[in-house]
Amino acid sequence: MKSKFLIKFVLPFLLVIALSFSACERNRTEVAQSGRDYHSPVEYSEGTQLALSSGDVNVAAVAVSGEASKPDGEALFIANCAACHQGNGQGVPAAFPPLDKSPYVTGDKLERLAAIMIYGLKGKITVLGQDYNGVMAPLGNLKDAELAAIATYIRSSWSNKAGPVEEKVFTEVRAKYGDFQTHGMFEISQLGEEPS
């Protein structure tokens, strides 16, 4: 009875396992002889296409373009700025100035905008005829590319139609004024006021 059980059930099971190991070993030998290294990381670049195949199935995966690696200005704005300046860029009357239609945002003095963003701002400022006297916290802990993405976003959002800001503007401002933590906040009179 025992031998019939072994012959009928266990032996076929062991045979299937042995054949599987044999097939795996054969495939491993073929891969090794092909010279391809399937254990090293795959490197992708813009336009790279990778075809994966398994039997009759062929799946194509396209690498993400370089655009995806750029910081998302809108997401960074929402995370770092919208609480005060609001998601619509209108600010809060008498508390936080608007960014929409603000000459401090849309003007051509990009160094001033970068300095305000990196080092923060304190004291009185007049924006679109309204006086504000508060504090803007510095964003200098963000990377220059992230700050440039925020600046580009606010300069081209809502009714603003100003051009982008390059990362190098922030890099140059940091080189000029030093570490944001030791420099301290600016007052607008130090950076140049816009006429009311």
The domains of the chain are located at 1-38, 69-191
pLDDT at 55: 43
Number of Cβ within 10 Å of residue 170's Cβ equals 28
Q: Check residue 40 and give its pLDDT.
A: 42
User: What is d(CA 5, CA 177) in angstroms, rounded to the nearest whole number?
Assistant: 85
pLDDT of residue 14: 53
Predicted local confidence at residue 33, as pLDDT: 53
Q: Alpha carbon 104 to chain centroid distance?
A: 25
Residues 6+ apart with CB under 8 A from 107: 113, 162, 194
Pairing of strands 130-136, 49-54: unpaired
Low-confidence ranges of the chain (pLDDT < 50): 6, 15-16, 19-32, 34, 36-66
Name the architecture of domain 69-191: Orthogonal Bundle (1.10)
* Residues facing residue 133 across a β-bridge: 124
pLDDT tens for 10-29 read 555 554 455 444 444 444 44
Q: How far is CA 94 from CA 10, 159, 187, in A?
A: 84, 21, 17
> For position 172, what pLDDT does the model report?
98
Per residue in 74-101, pLDDT (tens digit) is 999 999 999 999 999 999 999 999 999 9
By CB atoms closer than 10 A (0-12, 13-18, 19+), residue 105 is buried
pTM (2 d.p.): 0.67
Please give the pLDDT value at position 105. 98
pLDDT of residue 54: 39
The pLDDT, as a whole number, for residue 69 is 82
What per-residue confidence (pLDDT) applies to 7? 55
